Each structure stands twice: as structure tokens, then as C-alpha cells.
């Protein structure tokens, strides 16, 4: 169990409380009339008026829909998975291919460097894949996965969700390491890093990226790999959306049987301190084939909380018992054990939610180098029930193959951490989040001293520009050079933003 289990449990309970439903993934169409003109804003915050003639020209140049505030589908397209972000772009382009993406980027440039947001799966927890008064490029109509089983390669379009990749690869008994919730976007996940159940065995998603095609800020479609535009390829692997919109990801596949051993060991929450401490002792010695995460979940009110360990073992079945034996021995039998042989694709969908937008969420997280008794104590002490919110603390493992890649091999430098510690609160969508956000900030202030840096894909609205830059560590200088070369006007700024060395007008 981890973040998606939190959202699943929280959203499920919220739905039971008859919270407002949303048609989360409805199809959209646009045959609406063009407005006479629209007021938009540039990335620098300057207001611009876009005349009807320019909008007509844009509509003539793209195949996919263009949506304005009054169009059906606009609300669905602007929303993210987290309803805490309620932003209203001036216009939305839904490309059907790279040509539309090029046109949208050129349009943003032609109009003074419009504020530009890029949305794939919409999982951003900093809200940066939508925007107020800017141009949103919503990639939800640009989803396709192509496999070459003989070459063990997948080509995935920039709007795809990771469940589609798992599905297409599994049929060939192949796999590539992605995240743990099937409706997460490949676009955000893979450019930011990509932790998941197989990462200790096969590395982060970026470690399995062989090439990209990307529309850069000049509107050109570029190919980047270790052999061609290598600096751009280096930056895309961990630099997120800083350099453009990836239209195609080429991913390395690995042979893997369709089933793994996976599920949860559940314990009473009263045992959390002991379980965290024992887990912290075990985790550094775990085999590469074994992924163990933990989650503490506290539902609203005084309902009993839950402490769980999530297991995924992708090695030979005959060696599973030996792999988990030290942990099992130190903890004794769990209150509930759901670990069994299971299709990897089923495990990957086990935390999906049909209505993730029932709860607004605020997340705070950081990488931890170790989990000792003092951190275990701090987690348990900070974890308190509240009548009106869910609280969760969870952990995603690093190590193994992730740690065998050097810090400067890609733009992602956090290679030698034990894992990613995340905390989150959830409250019914539409209600004020202020007291809950204050509570998670207070909780996190007790845990943050144990962290070393954070995962850019879990950026939260509290992160300041200086925190972001220092989090790139020694890779910042090279990233700045790549940014300056490919996006000198910082057109792509709604991300873990690296500033170009000499910003120029678009
Ligand atoms: C429920 C949930 C589960 C998660 N589980 C995991 C996990 O197991 N492992 C993990 O590593 N992370 C996980 N995350 C974090 C996740 O990696 C980030 O939220 C990531 O940004 C999601 O990608 P997305 O495409 O869905 O997001 P979006 O919100 O669509 O995009 C986020 C950002 O990615 C960039 N981007 C998106 N598409 C492209 C593209 N085609 N080209 C260039 N840039 C692009 C943009 O800068 C955009 O602002 C999870 C998040 C949630 C909410």
C-alpha cells in the first residue's frame, strides 16, 4: 500500500458519505462557436488580448479540439485528479498528435509567451498541469502504445497512462518499470523519475528511457537519445517538463512472467513504532526483486487506523520466502495477509480509484537516507486522528538498481536514498482546506529534518524556487545550460523550474 491506497481508501469512504460525484474521465467534443477574443496572460504575468482571427487561425491549424470556458468538455479538461486545484485556462488545446503540439507551442510563442501548462495524466500535486488564464495543452487525446517484442522496445505517446503500457507489454511477457497507479500519466512520471514496484530490479523509468521525441520551445520536433541531442536527453531524464512536450517515449522492456507475488501485510496501528523500526532495519538489505512500502492510514473520526506493508516480489517464486523471511521473523504474523501470486497488471491497478476527485489532497514529502528508531518515533507521535480528515504517512522504496546509477548520469540526482517518505491529508472536495493544510504542514515540520531533498514529481505548493534549484544538487549547472539552449524564454515554466541563464522575451 502507498499513496494510491490512501487515495483509494479515502475516496471510497468519502463516496460512502455521499460526497459530490464527478464524471471523471468523460469524453469531450468541441464544435462551439469561437469567442470574439479572449483575455489571456503570459508566463511573465502580462495580460494579452487574443483576437478572434488568431483563434480561428489556430482552429484551422489543429486537428484536435480547442476549448473555451463556455464549451462542453472545458471543465473536464482543465481539472486535475486533485480537486484542490480549480484553475481556469483561457483556452485548452487537445492535440491528437505531434503536429498539433507544435502548433500549440508556436501559438503560445506568437502571443507573447503565453502561460503554458501541459497535462498528461493530471496527477500533479503542485497543480502545475493546469493554469489560470493561460494555454493548457491537454494530452488526453494523444494516447497510444506500440510494442516491438523482438527488440524489447515500447514506443509510448506523450499523453498515455501507464496502465496502457503495462497492459500492452504484459501480453508479450515483457515489462518496463513504471509507477504504482495505472491512471498516472507517463508524461509526468517518466520525465520526473518514475518510482514503482519494479524499480529496485530494473531502475527508475528514466533509467529505461532510450529516446524521446520532444517539441521544444521553438516549436521544433526533436529526437533525443544518448547519440543525438544527448544534452537534451540527459535533461529530460529527471528535469520534468522543463525542456518541452515529449511526444514519444522509447522504453526498454524486460522479460518478466505475467505474475508476481504481491499484496499487503496489515497490522494494528498500535504496532506502528515497532513495525517502522523493524522495517527500517530490513529495508537496506532487501533483495532487488523485493519491493516493500509502508502506509499508515488514519480515517476521519476515531475509526481505527491501519498500518500496512505492501509487498511485490518479482523474482523466482521458490525464493520468495527466503527474501521476506528476516522481515516476517522480526514482525511475527500480520493480522491480515493478502500476499499471493497475482497478475502484475492486477497489482498495478489495485489502488486505482474511479472517482479520485471526491477528496482534495495536500501532500508533503521528502527522501530519507535511513529509517531509524528516532524517525519511527517522530512519525508515530505526529500521527493523530481528526474528525474531518484522512491522514496518511507512506513510503516508497528506493535502492537496488536505482542506486547503481551515478548521480550525474541523468538529471535526477537522488540515487542513494532509502526511499520516499510521503505524508498527506484529504478532506471533502469543496470544503475549506485551510485547517487541514496547516495540520499537514505541522506534521511535516517534525519529519522534514529527517529528509535529504525531495522527489520533483511530488513537488507541493509550499516549495520555493530556491528549494527547487538546490534539489537538483550538482546537476543544476548542466540543467541550466540545457534549459538556456532549448528554452531561453522559459516558455515551459510550470514544472520544477530551472531558469534559463539569460531569460529573453519569447
Ligand atoms: C495517485 C498518485 C500516485 C502516484 N504514484 C506514483 C508512483 O508510484 N511513482 C512515482 O514515481 N510517482 C507517483 N506519483 C507522482 C507522479 O509521478 C507525478 O504526479 C507525475 O507528475 C504524474 O504525471 P502525470 O502525467 O499524471 O501528471 P500531470 O499532472 O499531467 O503532469 C505533471 C507535469 O508533468 C509534465 N508533463 C506531463 N506530460 C508531459 C509530456 N508529455 N512531456 C513533458 N512534460 C510532461 C508537465 O510539466 C506537468 O506539469 C503519483 C501521484 C499520484 C497523484
Q: What are the grid coordinates assigned to 303, written together? A: 475509526
Using most ligand atoms within 8 A of CB, pick from 121, 160, 180, 187 the residue to mutate for ligand 1. 187
**What would the DSSP string read from start to end of 224-235?**
EESSSSHHHHHH
What is the pLDDT, as a whole number, of residue 355?
76
**Could you give the CA distance from residue 336 to residue 309 in angstroms, rounded to a whole number?**
11
Atom of ligand 1 nearest to the CA of 363: 53
Cell numbers 499537514 correspond to: 440
Residue 6 confidence (pLDDT): 52
Q: Which alpha helices (H) appear in 259-357, and where do they start and end?
A: 272-282, 320-331, 344-348
Taking the centre of ligand 1 as the mean of its atom positions, its distance from the CA of residue 230, in whole angstroms, is 23
- Find out whether 339 and 265 touch, Cβ atoms under 8 Å: yes
Tell how far the Cα of 392 is from the centroid of ligand 1, in angstroms.
20
**Which of helix, strand or coil describes residue 366?**
strand
Question: Atom 4, ligand 1: which residue's CA is nearest?
Answer: 181
pLDDT at 1: 41
Which candidate, 390, 397, 284, 263, places its Cα nearest to that of 334? 263
Distance of CA 38 to the CA centre of its chain: 31
- φ/ψ of 66, rounded to 5, equals -120, 130
- The C-alpha atoms of residue 353 and residue 344 are separated, in whole angstroms, by 18
Task: Report the separation in Å between the CA atom of 187 and the middle of ligand 1, taken as the mean of its atom positions.
Answer: 6
Which residues form the pocket of ligand 1, taking CB atoms under 6 Å from any ligand atom? 3-4, 7, 80-81, 118-125, 128-129, 139, 158, 179-181, 184-185, 187-189, 191-196, 240-241, 245-246, 457-458, 494-495
Render 139-197 in DSSP notation, one character per residue.
Answer: GGG---EEEETTTTEEEEETT-BHHHHHHHHHTTTEE----SSTTSBHHHHHHH----T
Return the residue whose CA atom lies nearest to atom 18 of ligand 1. Answer: 457
Instruction: Let me know the angle formed at the C-alpha of 322 by 317 and 326, rounded to the nearest 5 degrees.
Output: 140
Q: How wide is the angle at C-alpha 223 spanned by C-alphas 140 and 60, nearest 5°?
A: 50
> What phi and psi values does residue 467 have, to the nearest 5 degrees?
-65, -40
Ligand 1 centroid – CA 391 distance (Å): 22
Distance CA 147, CA 426 (A): 38
127 alpha carbon – ligand 1 mean position (Å)? 11
- Tell how far the Cα of 125 is from the centroid of ligand 1, in angstroms: 8
Q: What is the ipTM of this complex?
A: 0.99
CA of 332 from ligand 1 middle (Å) equals: 37
Which three three-digit cell numbers place residue 255? 522479460
Q: How far apart are CA 201 and CA 316, in angstroms?
A: 13
First-last CA distance in the chain: 45
Q: Which three cell numbers stand for residue 15?
A: 463516496
Nearest CA to ligand 1 atom 7: 179
Alpha carbon distances (Å) from 495 to 158, 192, 254: 16, 10, 30
Mutate to test the pocket of ligand 1, among 185, 193, 419 (most ligand atoms within 8 A of CB): 185
Q: Rounded distance, CA 504 to CA 506, Å?
A: 6
b (16+ CB within 10 A) / e for 97-120? bbbbbbbbbbbbbebbbbbbbbbb
Q: How far is CA 365 from CA 393, 457, 461, 462, in A?
A: 9, 10, 12, 11
Ligand 1 atom 48: residue of nearest CA:
129
Query: Per DSSP, what are the bridge partners of residue 148?
Result: 153
Return all residues near 220 (Cβ < 8 A) that are at least 6 apart.
102
Q: Which atom of ligand 1 is nearest to the CA of 159?
A: 41
**C-alpha cell of 98?**
505531434
Indicate which residue's Cα is closest to atom 34 of ligand 1.
188
Cα(496)–Cα(485) distance, rounded to whole angstroms? 17
Chain-centre distance for alpha carbon 369: 21
Report residue 40 CA to chain centroid gap: 28
Nearest atom in ligand 1 to the alpha carbon of residue 124 is 29
Nearest CA owner, ligand 1 atom 38 = 187
Nearest ligand 1 atom, CA 458:
15
Interval between CA 196 and ligand 1 midpoint (Å): 13
Pocket test for ligand 1, best of 96, 156, 189, 423 (most atoms within 8 A of CB): 189
Using most ligand atoms within 8 A of CB, pick from 43, 76, 188 the residue to mutate for ligand 1: 188
* Ligand 1, pocket-test mutation among 120, 126, 191, most atoms within 8 A of CB: 120
> Could you write out the three-class secondary structure of 19-75?
CCCCCCCCCCCCCCCCCCEEEEEECCCCEEEEEHHHHHHHHHHCCCCEECCCCCCHH
Predicted confidence at residue 109, as pLDDT, reads 98
| Nearest atom within ligand 1 for CA of residue 455 | 11
pLDDT digits (tens, 9 = 90+) for 387-426: 899 999 999 999 999 999 999 999 999 999 999 999 999 9
C-alpha–C-alpha distance, residues 159 and 124, integer Å: 14
- Cβ partners under 8 Å of residue 47, min gap 6: 39, 40, 41
Question: Whose Cα sits closest to atom 23 in ligand 1?
Answer: 188
CA 212 to ligand 1 center in whole angstroms = 17
Residue nearest to atom 40 of ligand 1 (CA): 187
Residues, the chain: 506
CA-nearest residue, atom 49 of ligand 1:
129
Beta carbons of 355 and 11 less than 8 angstroms apart: yes
Domains in the chain and their CATH numbers?
Answer: 3-14+259-465 (3.40.462.20), 24-141 (3.30.43.10), 145-256 (3.30.465.10)
Q: Which set of grid coordinates corresponds to residue 224?
A: 533525443
5: helix, strand or coil: helix
Residue 354 vs residues 15, 192, 392: alpha-carbon distances, Å: 10, 25, 20
Per-residue confidence of the chain (506 residues) as pLDDT tens digits? 455 555 555 444 443 333 323 333 333 334 568 999 999 999 999 999 999 999 999 999 999 999 999 999 999 999 999 999 999 999 999 999 999 999 999 999 999 999 999 999 999 999 999 999 999 999 999 999 999 999 999 999 999 999 999 999 999 999 999 999 999 999 999 999 999 999 999 999 999 999 999 999 999 999 999 999 999 999 999 999 999 999 999 999 999 999 999 999 999 999 999 999 999 999 999 999 999 999 999 998 878 899 999 999 999 999 999 999 999 999 999 999 999 999 999 999 998 977 778 899 999 999 999 999 999 999 999 998 898 999 999 999 999 999 999 999 999 999 999 999 999 999 999 999 999 999 999 999 999 999 999 999 999 999 999 999 999 999 999 999 999 999 999 999 999 999 999 755 55
- 122 alpha carbon – ligand 1 mean position (Å): 7
Over residues 309-352, the pLDDT tens digits come to 999 999 999 999 999 999 999 999 999 999 999 999 999 999 89
Per-residue model confidence (pLDDT) at position 301: 82
Amino acid at each position: 500500500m502507498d499513496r494510491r491506497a490512501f487515495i483509494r481508501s479515502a475516496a471510497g469512504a468519502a463516496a460512502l458519505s455521499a460526497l459530490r460525484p464527478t464524471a471523471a474521465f468523460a469524453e469531450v467534443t468541441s464544435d462551439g462557436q469561437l469567442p470574439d477574443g479572449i483575455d489571456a496572460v503570459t508566463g511573465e504575468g502580462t495580460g494579452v488580448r487574443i483576437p478572434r482571427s488568431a483563434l480561428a487561425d489556430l482552429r484551422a491549424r489543429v486537428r484536435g479540439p480547442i476549448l473555451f470556458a463556455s464549451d462542453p468538455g472545458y471543465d473536464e479538461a482543465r481539472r486535475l485528479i486533485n480537486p484542490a486545484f480549480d484553475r481556469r485556462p483561457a483556452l485548452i488545446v487537445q492535440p491528437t498528435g505531434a503536429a498539433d503540439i507544435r502548433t500549440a507551442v508556436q501559438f503560445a510563442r506568437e502571443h507573447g509567451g503565453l502561460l503554458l501548462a501541459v497535462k498528461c495524466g493530471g496527477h500533479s500535486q503542485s497543480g502545475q498541469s493546469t493554469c489560470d488564464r493561460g494555454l493548457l495543452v491537454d494530452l488526453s487525446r494523444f494516447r497510444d502504445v506500440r510494442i516491438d517484442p523482438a527488440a524489447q522496445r515500447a514506443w509510448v505517446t506523450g499523453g498515455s497512462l501507464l496502465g496502457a503500457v503495462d497492459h500492452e507489454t504484459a501480453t508479450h511477457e515483457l515489462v518496463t518499470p513504471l509507477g504504482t497507479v495505472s491512471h498516472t500519466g507517463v508524461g509526468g512520471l517518466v520525465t520526473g523519475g518514475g518510482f514503482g514496484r519494479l524499480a529496485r530490479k530494473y531502475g527508475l523509468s528514466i533509467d529505461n528511457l532510450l529516446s524521446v521525441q520532444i517539441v521544444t520551445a521553438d516549436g521544433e520536433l526533436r529526437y533525443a537519445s544518448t547519440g543525438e541531442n544527448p544534452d537534451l536527453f540527459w535533461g529530460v531524464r529527471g528535469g520534468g517538463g522543463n525542456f518541452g512536450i515529449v511526444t514519444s517515449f522509447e522504453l526498454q522492456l524486460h522479460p518478466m512472467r505475467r505474475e508476481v507475488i504481491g499484496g499487503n501485510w496489515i497490522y494494528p496501528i498500535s504496532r506502528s513504532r515497532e513495525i517502522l523500526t523493524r522495517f527500517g532495519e530490513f529495508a537496506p538489505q532487501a533483495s532487488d526483486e523485493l519491493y516493500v512500502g509502508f502506509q499508515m492510514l488514519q480515517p476521519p473520526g476515531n475509526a481505527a487506523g491501519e498500518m500496512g506493508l505492501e509487498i511485490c516480489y518479482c523474482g523466482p517464486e521458490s525464493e520468495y520466502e527466503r527474501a521476506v523471511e528476516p522481515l516476517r521473523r522480526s514482525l511475527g504474523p500480520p493480522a491480515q495477509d493478502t500476499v499471493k501470486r497475482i497478475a502484475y497488471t492486477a497489482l498495478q491497478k489495485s489502488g486505482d480509484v474511479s472517482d479520485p476527485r471526491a477528496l482534495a489532497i495536500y501532500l508533503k514529502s521528502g527522501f530519507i537516507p535511513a529509517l531509524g528508531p528516532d524517525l519511527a518515533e517522530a512519525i508515530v507521535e505526529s500521527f493523530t486522528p481528526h474528525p474531518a480528515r484522512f491522514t496518511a504517512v507512506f513510503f516508497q522504496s528506493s535502492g537496488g538498481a536505482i542506486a547503481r546509477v551515478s548521480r550525474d548520469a541523468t538529471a535526477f540526482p537522488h540515487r542513494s536514498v532509502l526511499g520516499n517518505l510521503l505524508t498527506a491529508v484529504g478532506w471533502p472536495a469543496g470544503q475549506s482546506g485551510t485547517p487541514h493544510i496547516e495540520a499537514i504542514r505541522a506534521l511535516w515540520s517534525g519529519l522534514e529534518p529527517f529528509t535529504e531533498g525531495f522527489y520533483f514529481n511530488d513537488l507541493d505548493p509550499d516549495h520555493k524556487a530556491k528549494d527547487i534549484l538546490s534539489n537538483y544538487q550538482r546537476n543544476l549547472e548542466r540543467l541550466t545550460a540545457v534549459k538556456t539552449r532549448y528554452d531561453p524564454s522559459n516558455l515551459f515554466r510550470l514544472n520544477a523550474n530551472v531558469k534559463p541563464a539569460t531569460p529573453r522575451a519569447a
